[in-house]
Amino acid sequence: MASRALTVLALSTITLLSGCSAFRNYDSELAQTNQQLATGNVDAALTLLEKNNTGTDKDLLYYFEKGELLRAKGDLSGSQSAWSSADQVVGAWEDSVKLDTAKYLAQFGSLVVNDKVRRYEGYDYEKVMLTTQMALNLLATNDFDGARTAIKKTHEREAVIADLRDKEYLKSEEEAEKEGVTTQYKDLQGYPVASLDAPEVVGLKNSYQSAFSHYLAGFVYEALGEKDLAAPGYRKAAELRPNTPLLEQALVNLDKANGKDVDSDILIVVQSGLAPARDSIRVPLPLPISGNVVITPLSFPIIKPDTSTAALTQIGVDGQQLSLTQLNSTTAMSRRALRDDMPGIIVRTTVRAVSRGVMQKQLNETNPLAGLAVGITSAVLEGADTRTWRTLPDNTQVVRLRLKKGEHQITLPNIVGATVVKVTVDQRYQVISLRAVGNQVFAAGPVARVNPSISPATVASLTQP
């Protein structure tokens, strides 16, 4: 199993040692950045982001994080520009997949290159949430036509991902059989298996389709008078998150005549917390190396949920308490992505470990110092990939209601100071986006204003300048 990769591994090890990306601790970088965000110091968060990305060739994660931080700063135009750059990177990925899927899978599934030194391509749920967040930016300024374009791209992206993953998982199974790897993630002693088998994870259809994204699509199409497109959006959302009254009611209401109702149809979107971190855990695994079974510690990724923000269950609208309906959990999607990816990760990690073991044994017999160098190199390079979009909101919850045109007050009682957000309703359909991180509240767009008199130290406004 290992002989055919031996030569390539030796050369790649030397190459990898010269690249700084192998030594980057992305989790640590973004922990500091998010700490500044959670205290309302968005400028400091942006400064840290730039400090950690000084090269001219910016990667996808830089644009992901910058777009979310600029949104928090109040620069929706700059946020959209950063995310447009990210969207171009994802678009290039889509083109490469559609042009030659087999070639892409062969390159990505390479057994001799550690995942953490590959160019970051983003997890599937991140690619889908990118265009969803871009749609929210546009809806904050009542640009429903622009949001429609972003939503259409979301649907097209989901189709590309679905086709690719079907082929990738089949290839992973074939590689495992070919290499004789029978280990499953449930066999990893000391690995937090329960986190990947939790009901909210297993209950997801996949890692990338979000009930929120599809519900938002339905709302946008309905606002534009395209009920024939709104219905599939609501229907898919209900399929992804069954037994949710809000989603079932959306389809019922869609069939009702609008009549002479002059009130506004308002969708309040509350996004809270931060996407989970990825960490690396070492697990001992018995491996066949040169005819012997050797217990070898190998590194695998785990998901660490964010704990910066208290859970929200209700919001107040003009003094009336309304329950929030959760439509998306980035933590659950991230765990589902890892659950689906683990078979491939195990195959790649196992083959590299066996190849290194054979190389080191051969070198020890002829050049002990070289064997030691390979061992040290392996210990440094073989950690799990911890990169992921960390400023992405974790939970997305919504309330839909009818309001008269004019000014209204929204309160988030779980946030310190019972933050008050004043909103102006002036459209037939309107989306109001709020975000809570730590004790900070951000309100997106020119029609939403956080009341600074409640607690200036704990409130940040995301009003478009």
**pLDDT of res. 285:** 83
Q: Assign 3-state DSSP to the chain and report helix, strand, coil percentages, each to 5.
A: 55, 20, 30
Q: Is residue 295 part of a domain?
A: no
Structure tokens at 406: 């004019």
Q: Is residue 333 part of a domain?
A: yes
What pLDDT, in 10s, does the model give residues 415-427?
A: 655 678 899 999 9
Q: Is residue 311 part of a domain?
A: no
Helices (H) and strands (E) in the chain, counts: 15, 12
Q: How many domains does the chain have?
A: 1
CA distance from start to end of the chain = 60
User: Looking at residue 235, which CATH number applies to its domain?
Assistant: 1.25.40.10
Q: Is the pLDDT of residue 90 over 80?
A: yes
CA–CA separation, 68 vs 242, rounded Å?
30
Mean pLDDT of the chain: 85
pLDDT band, residue 393 (cuts 50/70/90): very high
Residues 6+ away with beta carbon under 8 Å from 255: none
CA–CA separation, 34 vs 40, rounded Å?
10
Name the 3-class secondary structure at 314. Answer: strand
Q: Is residue 38 part of a domain?
A: yes
Are 279 and 302 a contacting pair, CB within 8 Å? yes
Q: Is residue 266 part of a domain?
A: no
Are 168 and 138 a contacting pair, CB within 8 Å? no
| Percentage above 90 pLDDT, the chain | 57
Q: Is the pLDDT of residue 337 over 90?
A: yes
CA–CA separation, 91 vs 71, rounded Å?
22
Closest CA to 214 of 396, 436, 86, 338: 396
Q: Is the pLDDT of residue 73 over 80?
A: yes
Domain that holds residue 100: 3-261+329-392
| Percentage above 70 pLDDT, the chain | 83
In the block, residue with structure tokens 């308490």: 321
Over residues 361-378, the mean pLDDT reads 59
**pLDDT of res. 98:** 87
Helices within 100-143 (DSSP H only): 101-108, 124-139
Q: Is residue 411 part of a domain?
A: no
Helices within 100-226 (DSSP H only): 101-108, 124-139, 144-179, 193-196, 199-202, 211-223
Over residues 81-108, the mean pLDDT reads 87
Q: Is residue 121 part of a domain?
A: yes
Are 363 and 2 a contacting pair, CB within 8 Å? no
In the block, residue with structure tokens 């889509």: 94
Instruction: Quote the distance between the C-alpha of residue 176 and its chain's center.
Output: 27
286: which strand partners?
295
Q: Is the pLDDT of residue 375 over 70?
A: no
CA–CA separation, 301 vs 280, rounded Å?
5
Q: Is the pLDDT of residue 105 over 60?
A: yes
Over residues 296-309, the mean pLDDT reads 91
**pLDDT of res. 448:** 80
